[in-house]
C-alpha cells in the first residue's frame, strides 16, 4: 500500500514538471519520469510474496511465480519509450535551431 503511494507520488512529480516547467528539456525529462513511474506501478501490481521470477529451469523446484503478464507488457513499453524520447529530442533540437531558445513561452511568441 505505502509502496503504491510512493510510486504514485513519483508519477505526480513528473506531472508537476510537465505542467509548470517552461523549459523544453525539463519537460522531456518529466515525461521520462512519468513513464518510469507508470512502468514501476504495473510491476508493483504484479509482485507476489515469496515467489520467484517466471523462468522455468531443469532441476529447479517449481514454486510460486510472480505475475508474468504485466512484465511482458512493460517490456515492450520500455523500448517504445526510448523511441518516443528520441523523437521528442529531435523535435527539441529542430525548435532550438529555428528559435535558438528552449523556453516555450518565447517559442510561442516567435511565430512564422
Partner 1 sequence: MPVEPWLIFILSVMIIASIAALEMEDILSSIVAIGVVGLGVSLSFLFLQAPDLAIVQFLFEIFAVIILVRAFLKKDYHKEKPSTINKILAGVTVITLAAIFIFSISVFELLPPFGEPLMTTAQYYLDNGAKDTGAANLVSSIVLDYRAYDTLGEVTVLFAAILGTFTILRIKSKSKKEKTELDHAAK
C-alpha distances (whole Å) from 99 to each of 89, 94, 107 are 15, 9, 7
Nearest to partner 1 of 72, 109 (CB atom) = 72
3-state secondary structure of 111: coil
Site for partner 1 in 83-112 (CB under 8 A): 83-87, 89-94, 96-103
Q: Which of 59, 61, 81, 111 binds partner 1 (CB under 8 A)?
A: 81
Which grid coordinates are listed for 37?
Answer: 513511474
Beta bridge partners of 103: 23
Q: Which residue has the cell 509482485?
A: 47
Q: How far is the CB of 109 from partner 1 (least distance, A)?
A: 14
38: contact with partner 1 by CB under 8 A: no
Binding of partner 1 by 49 (CB under 8 A): yes
Amino acid at each position: 500500500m505505502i509502496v503504491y503511494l510512493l510510486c504514485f507520488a513519483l508519477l505526480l512529480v513528473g506531472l508537476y514538471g510537465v505542467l509548470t516547467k517552461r523549459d523544453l528539456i525539463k519537460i522531456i525529462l518529466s515525461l521520462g519520469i512519468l513513464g518510469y513511474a507508470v512502468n514501476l506501478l504495473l510491476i508493483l501490481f504484479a509482485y507476489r510474496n515469496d515467489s520467484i521470477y517466471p523462468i522455468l529451469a531443469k532441476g529447479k523446484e517449481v514454486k510460486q511465480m510472480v505475475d508474468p503478464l504485466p512484465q511482458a507488457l512493460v517490456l515492450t513499453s520500455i523500448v517504445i519509450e526510448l523511441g518516443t524520447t528520441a523523437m521528442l529530442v529531435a523535435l527539441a533540437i529542430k525548435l532550438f535551431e529555428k528559435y535558438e531558445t528552449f523556453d516555450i513561452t518565447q517559442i510561442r511568441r516567435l511565430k512564422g
